[in-house]
Amino acid sequence: MAEKTLKDAFHETLKDVYYAEKQSVKALKKSAKAAKTPDLKEAFTRHAEESAMQVERLVQVFEILGKSARGKTCEAMQGLTAEMEEDLEDFGDTEAADDVLIGCAQAIEHYEIARYGLLKTWARKLGLAEAERLLDETLEEEKRTDLLLTQIAEGLDGPGDDEDGGEETAEVEKAVPRRALGGKKAKA
Ligand code: FE
Ligand code: FE
Ligand code: FE
């Protein structure tokens, strides 16, 4: 059996991330439905669309490798989405619902950031410049989403607040550019 190379590891990880990204689209759509705060609903809806583009970018990276786009079960993402289901059952009807949803979504974003960061580094080491560019584009979207979710969470009312937190969440719109959607508007 031929010795395995970094390029093989790259291909295997790409399959893992391809599966994970498709799962994340489903999780985001579900989160958009479950979210109560309009800003959060919109953030999830937008990132679901962005993620569909990210899946397409991964297909392009498979093409660069000369491989067909095929996923393989990512146990980490399965675990994260299973935790999300459980949290939705436990907290979906409570005042903590949006906070808990954000927590689940950020766990997913952090996994994605770890994986895309890795793939980007490996693409560079393998001299796959176009793949590196595509992976970096996605990596930046994941980082922006993570930041946006933190900002929304900070703007959400806590049990100790008396009035609304509307001002803070309005700031979020300015903090994160819309250009990542490539001008396409959410169908909502
Ligand atoms: Fe993603
Ligand atoms: Fe994985
Ligand atoms: Fe994401």
Residue pLDDT tens, the chain, 188 long: 789 999 999 999 999 999 999 999 999 999 999 999 999 999 999 999 999 999 999 999 999 999 999 999 999 999 999 999 999 999 999 999 999 999 999 999 999 999 999 999 999 999 999 999 999 999 999 999 999 999 999 999 888 776 554 455 445 554 554 444 444 444 44
Q: State the fold for domain 6-155+166-181.
A: Ferritin (1.20.1260)
Q: Helices 129-155 and 97-125 meet at what angle, rounded to 10? A: 160
CA–centroid distance, 91 to ligand 1, in Å, is 24
Round to whole Å and give the CA distance between 171 and 51.
Answer: 24
Round to whole Å and give the CA distance between 169 and 66.
Answer: 44
Torsion 81-179-146-73 (CA) sign: positive
**Which ligand minimizes its atom distance to the CA of 147?**
3
CA–centroid distance, 164 to ligand 1, in Å, is 31
Q: Is the pTM of this model over 0.75?
A: yes
CA–centroid distance, 29 to ligand 3, in Å, is 12
**Which ligand minimizes its atom distance to the CA of 54?**
1
CA–centroid distance, 9 to ligand 2, in Å, is 12
**Which ligand minimizes its atom distance to the CA of 77?**
2
**Which ligand minimizes its atom distance to the CA of 58?**
1
CA–centroid distance, 175 to ligand 3, in Å, is 17
